């Protein structure tokens, strides 16, 4: 684990911070009458891919159809507050796991500090 666990935590924390900052854009500073709402026109429809073969040597990756991608984007836009908050919750859970994994590294450092003081 060591230092890498702490670096993973810092990266996870940065992801959470950026997600929250982006999500709070509508309530922050805005130019003129900008609303800072999600713009479906500028969103790229999500592309989902299924992985697996129907038979040996067959096609491995299956892209979702364009019409399904557009429908998925419609669902996201319609329920964006819920979906975004759920996604941020998941990012926060990952951040917490990374922080907990850092405990061993912190314990090692504290032991070194204790020895250095002696």
Phi-psi domain of 52 (left: phi exceeds 0; alpha: psi -120 through 50; beta: other):
left
- CB-CB contact of 76 with 83 (8 Å): yes
CA gyration radius for the chain? 22
Over 80: is that where the pLDDT of 82 sits?
yes
Instruction: Give bridge partners of residue 61 from the DSSP assignment.
Output: 51
Cα–Cα dist 101/70, whole Å: 39
Domain spans of the chain, in order of start: 3-117
Which pLDDT does position 1 carry in this prediction? Answer: 60
Mean pLDDT of 64-69: 92
Mean pLDDT of 95-113: 91
Phi first, then psi: give them for residue 27, nearest 5 degrees. Answer: -95, 0
Which pLDDT does position 65 carry in this prediction? Answer: 94
In this prediction the pTM is 0.80
Mean pLDDT of 12-32: 94
């Amino acid at each position: 684990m060591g230092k890498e666990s702490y670096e993973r935590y810092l990266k996870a924390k940065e992801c959470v911070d950026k997600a929250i900052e982006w999500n709070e854009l509508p309530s922050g500073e805005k130019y003129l009458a900008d609303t800072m709402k999600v713009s479906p026109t500028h969103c790229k429809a999500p592309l989902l891919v299924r992985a697996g073969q129907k038979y040996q040597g067959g096609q491995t990756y299956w892209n979702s159809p364009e019409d399904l991608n557009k429908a998925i984007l419609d669902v996201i836009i319609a329920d964006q507050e819920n979906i975004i908050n759920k996604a941020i919750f998941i990012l926060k859970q990952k951040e917490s796991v990374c922080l907990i994994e850092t405990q061993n590294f912190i314990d090692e450092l504290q032991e070194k500090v204790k020895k250095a003081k002696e």
